[in-house]
A and B are shown apart, each in its own frame.
Chain A
C-alpha cells in the first residue's frame, strides 16, 4: 500500500461512519446516501494532497454535503424527483439504537422513531446544523465550514432548529403522556 493511500486510510476513513450518518440525514433514501458517500470519499482522496492540517472531519463532511447537493441537482435536471420515502421501512433503521433490553428497546424505539421523524421534518438548513452539533459534536466554527455560512447564521439556524424540535417534540410525546395521566 502506497503512502498516500495509507495516510488516507489512517486520517480520513475513520470518519466514514460520520460521513454516512450525515449523508443519511441529508438524503431521503439509503441508496442515495451510499452513492453520495462513495463519491465524497473519491473526491476526498483526489483532494487529499491539498489538505494541510485542518479539521479532517469537517473537511470530509463539507465534501459529503457538496456531493449531496450535486446529486440533488442532477436528479432535478433529470426531472426525476423521488418523493420522500417517509414510510420506507428501511429508512431510519440505521439511526436507531439497539439495546440489549427488549422492553426499553421497544419504548426507546418508539421515541427514537418519532424524534427522528420530527428531525426529518425540519427544513434542511436547520436539520444539518442540528445533526452536526448534537450528533457529530462539531463546534460552531466547524459547522460554519461544513455548511459554508457565517458563524452567526449557524447560531441562529441552530436556535431555530432546537426551538422547532422542542415544540414539536413536546406536542407529540409529553402531550401524549399528559393525556394518559
Chain B
C-alpha cells in the first residue's frame, strides 16, 4: 500500500468521511489505479468475512451460567444500614461475585480456611482475613500489575466504588505491586497491594459507614490495622510484624493528610 491516500480511501470505504471528503476521494480514486485496487480488495475481504464467518452465538449453558451468577449479585451498590451485620454476611458469601467462574480451587481453599478457623465475633475481621488469605492463592493477588501509582489509581475508578490513596514507597521498603478489586459486604472495595521484604500487605479500603471501626487485631497470625481517612475506611492486613505494618499505615495516613481531600 504505497499511495499516501490509502488510509483516507479506507476511511471512505468504512463510511467514516463526510460528503465533501468523499467526493474528493472519489476523484482521487478515478485516476489512481492503486487505490482502485485497494477499494476492490477491501470489498472482497469484507464480503468473504461477512459471508463465511456467520456470527456465532453464545451457547445456552453460558446464558444460564450468567443468569445464575447475576442472581447472586446485589442489585444496589449503596451501603446498607446493616453493613457488617449478621444477615448480610451469613446469607451470601461475599467472594462469590469477586470470583465469578474462575478460581474455584481458591474458593474451596478459603472455605476450608473459614471452616477451620475458630469462630470470630466480628464478621468484618472474617471478611478481611479471608480476602487477604485468598489473595495469597496463586493468580489472585493483583488485577492490575503496576509499580506506578498513576496506573493503579485510575484503574480503580473503573473497577471499584472508591478511590484510595496509592503511592509507591519503595524507598521506605514498601514496594507497590498493584491493585485489585475485592468484594466486602456487597460493596466493591479497592485493594492496594504492597510488598515488604517477603511479605504481602493488602490495604483494603471502602466507603466509611455508620458503624464504628474495630480496633487493631491479630487473627491466626495475621495483623489487621484499621484507620479512617476522610470518607474512607482502611484496613492493612499482613503477616509482617506490627512495627512494619504500622510503618506503612503511617506513610499512608501522611499521604492522605497531605492530599487533604481524603
Contacts and interface: CB of A to CB of B under 8 A. Distances in A.
Contact of B70 (A45, A95, A112): A45
A156 interface: yes
A28 to B, nearest CB: 15
Nearest to B61: A34
A139 B16 contact: yes
Contact of A20 (B53, B58, B73, B139): B58
Interface in B49-102: 49-59, 61-63, 65-66, 69-70, 73, 75-77, 97, 100-102
A94 B101 CA distance: 21
A81 interface: no
A53 B165 CA distance: 30
A173 to B, nearest CB: 9
B260 to A, nearest CB: 25
A95 B56 contact: yes
Nearest to A155: B7
Interface in B1-59: 1, 6-7, 10-11, 14-16, 41-42, 44-46, 48-59
A162 B4 CA distance: 17
Contact of B55 (A3, A13, A21, A156): A21
Interface residues of B, number: 48
Interface in A72-94: 73-75, 77-78, 94
A39 B100 contact: yes
A111 B53 CA distance: 9
Contacts of A38: 62, 65-66, 69, 100-101
A166 B45 CA distance: 6
Given A78-B138, A159-B6, A162-B41, A17 B57 contact: yes
B49 A115 contact: yes
A42 B138 CA distance: 22
A163 B1 contact: yes
User: Number of contact residues on A: which range applies?
Assistant: 35 or more
Nearest to A114: B52
B223 interface: no
B188 interface: yes
A176 to B, nearest CB: 15
A95 B188 CA distance: 36
B7 A37 contact: no
Interface string A87-112: 00000001111100000000010011
Contact of A45 (B11, B55, B58, B73): B73
B14 A139 contact: yes
Nearest to A173: B48
Contacts of A74: 102, 139-140
A20 B66 CA distance: 12
Contacts of A130: 49
A139 B14 CA distance: 8
Nearest to B157: A50
9 contacts: A16-B58, A37-B66, A42-B100, A46-B73, A115-B49, A134-B45, A135-B49, A162-B45, A165-B45
B100 A95 contact: no
Contacts of B97: 42, 46
Contact of B52 (A43, A47, A97): A97
A162 B42 contact: yes
B48 to A, nearest CB: 6
Nearest 7 interchain pairs by C-beta: A97-B54, A94-B56, A20-B58, A112-B52, A74-B139, A39-B100, A2-B75
Interface in B122-159: 138-140, 143, 145, 158-159
Interface in A129-154: 130, 133-135, 139-140
Contacts of A166: 41, 44-45
Contacts of A43: 159
A41 B70 contact: yes
A37 B57 CA distance: 12
Contacts of A95: 53-54, 56
Contact of A35 (B10, B51, B63, B102): B102
